[in-house]
Amino acid sequence: MDQPRINLTLDQTMPVQCDKCNHNVFEEGLIMRKASGLLTGTGQTSYMPIPVFACKASGHVNAEFLPKELKDLG
């Protein structure tokens, strides 16, 4: 299924800054979660990578970049 194309110009957007240090450059990173082999039924620990954007200066991940499930974990 194709995603709809969004036609935006730069003046229709808002800047995003780090909530910790106000820096405005981010890089992709991964939050890793693991599950016991008992839960997965494989007998081995499984890992789930979750892509996020982290501030390049401080490493902080703004809450808006986290999936809802991680926000709910506190």
Domain map of the chain by residue range? 13-65
* pTM metric for this prediction: 0.75
- For residue 39, the model assigns a pLDDT of 83
| Number of other residues whose CB lies within 10 A of the CB of residue 55 | 23
Q: Report CA dihedral (14, 29, 66, 74) to the nearest 10 degrees.
A: -130
What string of pLDDT tens digits covers the 74 residues of the chain? 677 788 889 999 999 999 999 999 999 999 999 999 888 888 889 999 999 999 999 999 999 999 988 887 76
Query: Pick from 67, 66, 58, 64: which is nearest to 25 by CA?
Result: 58
- For residue 1, the model assigns a pLDDT of 62
